[in-house]
Amino acid sequence: MLLADRSFSMVSEPSEDVQAVLAAMESMDLPEIHELEPEQVREGMEGRFAGAEPVADVGAVEDREIPGPDGDIPVRVYTPESEGPHPVVVFYHGGGFVFGSPDGHDAPARLLTNGADAVVVSVDYRLAPEHPFPAPVEDAYAALRWVAENQEAVGGNGTVAVAGDSAGGNLAAVAALAARNRDDGPDVAYQALVYPVVDFREDAAGGGYASHVENAEGYFLTAADMEYFHDHYAPSWVHHRNPYLSPLLAESHADLPPATVATCGFDPLRDEGRAYADALDADGVDVTRREYDDLIHGVLNMVQEPMDVQGGHDLLDDVAGDLRDALH
């Protein structure tokens, strides 16, 4: 029995603006993610906001490269308008480990920068299937270490947090876990995990969580999409109990940073996030649970036209506020 076998207090349908987004997507008669090659997925997803005006102004935006385990890692550094130095949030974008980039997550990065009054370093980690597990993990950890060791280069004040959504929520959780476990691990003050994937076990993918079944179809991320992402990122079941792939399965979650875990009612990953919050709490980690029962997966990045959902703004405001309270 998996950890999240319990009921979830939720409304009967998504919010009206989420329903409008879903209806608009259905009317376009687009192919499903799992029907496409990874490069086609990337082109389609990156094109959603092509040419859009920035959702918010920040003090400065700089693209740069930092050393990684197998070549340089591109990052985008967002600096607030307020006087620094600032805390730094290392941010990992979602996209199933197959697509996504700082470009595609520009809007949430800007809103987090302003809301948390922190420098946000958005990491363009390597993607599967060209670079499967553990390549993105090692990029995520290398970026965290570099930021922690080069605070002056990004306008940091010595306080570092991690954050991410979906696959990026996994990488944020795993980076925090690696920082605790490894001898060279930096201090991480906080982790903000938005609908993270935390359990790659076969019985999890096969319906071990109620939300995998309840929300398998019709709410943007589908069960078939999840299988597609899993197969590209971690095709061998040999890895699936590795805590750097499935952080829920870490032997202990004690001494990990305080956390915000945000989940959405109509998301297949809802119960994985809840299970991770339970695991952190059981091992004495201070956890803030943010539950949005009328929202869907991906809403963190639905904060500008043509997909502008008020609940996405609310979620970002809450997560940014938690980071601000924890880091200042």
Among residues 15, 101, 122, 166, the one annotated as catalytic is 166
Q: Is the pLDDT of residue 65 over 90?
A: yes
pTM score: 0.95
Are the CB atoms for 15 and 313 separated by under 8 Å? no
Q: Where are the domains of the chain?
A: 16-327
Whole-angstrom distance, CA of residue 302 vs CA of residue 254 = 34
Among residues 93, 105, 240, 297, the one annotated as catalytic is 297
Q: Is 239 part of the annotated catalytic residue set?
A: no
Residue 259 has phi, psi (to 5 degrees) of -140, 150
Terminal CA-CA length for the chain: 40
Q: Which H or E run contains 162?
A: strand 156-165
Contacts of 57 (CB under 8 A, 6+ apart): 81, 110
- Condensed to tens digits (0 to 9), the pLDDT of residues 191-231 reads 999 999 999 997 665 557 999 999 999 999 999 999 999 99
- Superfamily per CATH, domain 16-327: Alpha/Beta hydrolase fold, catalytic domain (3.40.50.1820)
Whole-angstrom distance, CA of residue 43 vs CA of residue 159 = 36
Among the ranges given (26-30, 165-169, 193-197, 278-282), the one the predictor scored with the smallest mean pLDDT? 26-30
How would residue 29 be classed by pLDDT, with cut points 50, 70 and 90?
A: confident
DSSP letters, 168-196, are HHHHHHHHHHHHHHSTTPPP--EEEEES-
Amino acid at 215: N
Q: Is 240 part of the annotated catalytic residue set?
A: no
- Condensed to tens digits (0 to 9), the pLDDT of residues 273-323 reads 999 999 999 999 999 999 999 999 999 999 998 889 999 999 999 999 999
Q: Which H or E run contains 89?
A: strand 86-92
pLDDT of residue 236: 83
Among residues 17, 117, 139, 267, the one annotated as catalytic is 267
Beta bridge mates, 161 = 89, 190
Q: Is 86 part of the annotated catalytic residue set?
A: no
Residue 16 has phi, psi (to 5 degrees) of -60, -40
